[in-house]
Amino acid sequence: MSRDMSGINGEKERKSRYRSGAAGKRNGRRRTSGPHLWLAEQRKLRTRYVWIVPVGFLALLLLWMLVTVRNFNSLDRDSGYQYMLYSMSVMNAIFMPVMLSVVASRLCDMEIKGNTLKLLYTLERPGRFYDIKYLFELKYLIAFSGGETLGLIVLGKITGFTEPVRPAMFAEHFIAITAVGAVILSIQHLLSLMSDNQILPLIVGIAGGFLGLFSMFFPEAVNRLILWGYFGIFSVAAVDWQRTTDETMYLYYRHLPAARFAVFLIAGIVIYLIGKQIFLRKEV
């Protein structure tokens, strides 16, 4: 009888050790899966050449600006950077939503077309997968914003602008377009992961670009309701329409409105969290 009881107890101990060992492996994998997933995303992107998308859009914008300012006279060069910063706020409203929709689609369609979400969820929590995918998309946005900001400075030097470079204005320009782009990217990110066909996110990006452009002609109260119009709202260069004539455009610098910008950032975080909760409820 004692031998039977000892055998049973030994079997229970082995099962207990097996369960604890398996749990430890699962917990260990859960702790280290974040870096592993990040490395996996990098490996998946090696042959997709996503970087061509922001580089191509950036080259197009800078080339358009070069053609525009190369024939500036001496008076125009005195306020050349103001003109470029104002013009880029308009061009960003058109092109950046399209660029972000393409980047998000390129990064997300691998899992959507391959139908690998269920397999990935066995290795990683859906929420962490959602966050890391977004961070990968965000790095392309930051690179685009930084390239645009530095490109405008270099372009002004090449074309002989006499206006001095104001680091604060260019820093605020970088912060503004990155923040607005990040909020728009969170929407494109959700649409790309929720859509079986990536045509819908691309249509939203194109429509948002045109809506952002036309919103600049709307009253300010209406413009604030349009997300894509915040490229113009947070532009560090603006036009004084009361002094502008057919021959001359009067421009001036303005700082980012701190309170409104803080509210925008909070709203952007809320939009991202809502999108994340919608994605977590998706059945795969």
Strands 237-239 and 251-253 come out as: antiparallel
pLDDT value at position 248? Answer: 63
Would you say residue 110 has pLDDT above 70? yes
pLDDT value at position 168? Answer: 92
Q: Where residue 68 falls among pLDDT bands split at 50, 70, 90? A: confident
Encode burial over 234-245: b for 16+ CB neighbours within 10 A, e otherwise: bbbbbeeeeeee
pLDDT value at position 2? Answer: 45
Question: Could you tell me if 107 and 133 are in contact, meaning their C-beta atoms sit under 8 angstroms apart?
Answer: yes
Q: Which range (4-8, 156-160, 208-212, 279-283) has the least confidence?
A: 4-8
The structure's pTM equals: 0.82
Would you say residue 206 has pLDDT above 70? yes
| Rg of the chain over all Cα atoms, to the nearest angstrom | 25
Token output for 247: 């021959």
Q: How close are the terminal C-alpha atoms of the chain, in Å?
A: 52
How much of the chain exceeds pLDDT 70, in percent? Answer: 79
Question: Could you tell me if 220 and 232 are in contact, meaning their C-beta atoms sit under 8 angstroms apart?
Answer: no
Structure confidence by residue, pLDDT tens digits, 123-159: 778 888 889 889 989 999 999 999 999 999 999 999 8
Token output for 15: 């099962």
pLDDT value at position 42? Answer: 67
How much of the chain exceeds pLDDT 90, in percent? Answer: 42
Which is more confident, 155 or 198?
155
Q: Mean pLDDT for the chain?
A: 82
pLDDT value at position 227? Answer: 92
> Using CB atoms within 10 A of its CB, is residue 132 exposed (0-12), middle (13-18) or buried (19+)?
middle
Mean pLDDT of 247-256: 78
Would you say residue 263 has pLDDT above 90? yes
Structure confidence by residue, pLDDT tens digits, 27-53: 444 444 556 666 766 676 676 788 899
pLDDT value at position 27? Answer: 44
